[in-house]
Amino acid sequence: MTVLSEAPHRRFNPLTGEWVLVSPHRLRRPWQGRVETLPDEARPAYDPACYLCPGNPRAGDAVNPHYESTFVFDNDFAALLPESHGRCSREGTLFLARLERGMCRVVCFSPRHDLTLAEMSHDEIVRVVDVWVEQWLDLGAYDFIRYVQIFENKGALMGCSNPHPHGQIWATESLPVEPEKEHRCQREYFHRHHRTMLEDYMSAELERAERIVCRNSTWAAVVPFWAKWPFETLLAPLRPVQSIAALDAAERDGLADILRRMTVRYDNLFHVSFPYTMGLHQAPTDGLDHPHWHLHLHFYPPLLRSASVQKFMVGFEMLATPQRDFTPEDAAEQLRDLSEVHYRCGATPAAEAGA
């Protein structure tokens, strides 16, 4: 890895069939670009103005119940609707449009306004995982739903409009673009090797250990070899399962554990409530068997050098190829060296600890 750690090079992402440019020397350049204003992290446990807090009004006539655990409701401003409105017209092959049905829900992780996954207890996160399973099964049972996308946008940098701990679920009639890429690439790999791609990949990463951030008996978290975001991670169960519903009790517990440990590490990196987009990728809900699918989670955080410097995907990244400024191995080492005790609870920054 000596040459790759110093020289510009490309890395291939076998999950999507795409490439990323790595430029290890670029991090030494001076930064005179945008510097973000850090958000105020002091929040009350209950905010009477928050439309996600227990007992508060939402849009229209909706009022939240006085929930005491994870709470799910249909999105008041859903991007997709379950009803079909007429027929869609098209003109030849250059002007093609199709109606898309779907359902959108919001998952409040906790009634506490001032928490995030990183500060929730293990048992509270287990409850979130259980709700994800329940929702995947419920939404996937609709005959017109082909894919259920579970995700969280955390932080204003990721477009989150409310700091209350919550995620979303969008269930779609068609297979979305990113899962479709992984669907195709995993299927081709499985047909060639008769094993899932991520079973082989995670096994190789665990053997090498250079990009592994943390693991337990059922899950592992790795900065993938092909990561395009600075501190991107991929979380996968060690046993190949097609969906979150196929996890056994120990694997659900292991998912909650790895989520807590990773989100604590993220917060501890720059001593800030770390923004990210996180989502699960799993098999379509079309009623067919998809043995090539291996459930996994992606974390895509935007921060680059500090809590106030963001990575932008612009210019060459938008017009040509995604690019990153330091190696995934470097990112993994930084994350691996961090404490799993949240900084608000007295964790020592890695720099001070000599890590």
86 class by beta-carbon count within 10 Å (0-12 exposed, 13-18 middle, 19+ buried)? exposed
Indicate which residue of 113, 164, 166, 281 is catalytic.
166
Residue 24 corresponds to which tokens in the numbers above?
A: 């290890």
Closest C-alpha among 229, 226, 227, 249 to residue 237: 249
Say whether 166 is catalytic.
yes
Closest C-alpha among 180, 166, 157 to residue 275: 157
73 - beta bridge partners?
Answer: 106
Those residues whose C-beta lies under 8 Å from the C-beta of residue 118, and which sit 6 or more positions away, are 260, 263, 264, 266, 267, 273, 274, 342
Closest C-alpha among 270, 327, 251, 319 to residue 36: 270
64 vs 54: CA distance, rounded Å? 6
The secondary structure of 114-162 as a DSSP string is T--GGGS-HHHHHHHHHHHHHHHHHHHTSTT--EEEEEEEESGGGT-S-
| 118 contacts 84 by C-beta, under 8 angstroms | no
Active site residues: 166
